C-alpha cells in the first residue's frame, strides 16, 4: 500500500446557485469549493463523484455528493457512506470516505 493517491483528474466548477445552495444547508460543515475534484480512482468507470457538502447534526452526518459525467450534466444526491472498513497501516477501523455504491477502490 502506498500513500501516493492516484486519483481521477476530473473536476467541475459548481454554479453560483449550487454553491449557495450547498452553503446554505443547515449545519453545513464545509466551505463549498469553487472547484470540486473527483474523489474516485484514476480510470474508474461510470460517473465521477465529489463530496459537495456534509451536515453534522449531533452524531448524525448527512453527506451530499455531486455525481457527474462528461456531457450529461450532474446530480446532487444525499448518499449514505460506503460501509467498507479498512486500515491505512497507522490507525485501525477506518471507514471508507466515499459514498455507498461508488466504483473503484475504497478510500480511507
Interface contacts to Zn ion, rule CB under 5 A: 8, 10, 38, 40, 48, 82, 84, 96, 98, 106
Angstrom distance (rounded) from CA 71 to CA 37: 16
Q: Which one, 48 or 74, has the nearer CB to Zn ion?
A: 48
Angstrom distance (rounded) from CA 42 to CA 104: 8
Residue 61 C-beta: closest distance to Zn ion, Å = 16
Query: What's CA 44's distance to the chain center, in Å?
Result: 14
Q: Which one, 10 or 63, has the nearer CB to Zn ion?
A: 10
Residue 29 C-beta: closest distance to Zn ion, Å = 20
Residue carrying the nine cell digits 454553491: 19
Residue 26 C-beta: closest distance to Zn ion, Å = 27
Retrieve residue 72's grid coordinates. Answer: 450529461
Amino acid at each position: 500500500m502506498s500513500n501516493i493517491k492516484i486519483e481521477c483528474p476530473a473536476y467541475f466548477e459548481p454554479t453560483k446557485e449550487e454553491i449557495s445552495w450547498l452553503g446554505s444547508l443547515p449545519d453545513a460543515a464545509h466551505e463549498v469549493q469553487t472547484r470540486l475534484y473527483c474523489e474516485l480512482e484514476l480510470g474508474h468507470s461510470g460517473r465521477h463523484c465529489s463530496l459537495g457538502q456534509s451536515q453534522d447534526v449531533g452524531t448524525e452526518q448527512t453527506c451530499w455528493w455531486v455525481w457527474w459525467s462528461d456531457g450529461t450534466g450532474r446530480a446532487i444526491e444525499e448518499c449514505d457512506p460506503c460501509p467498507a472498513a479498512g486500515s491505512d497501516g497507522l490507525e485501525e477501523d477506518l471507514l471508507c470516505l466515499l459514498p455507498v455504491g461508488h466504483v473503484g477502490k475504497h478510500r480511507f
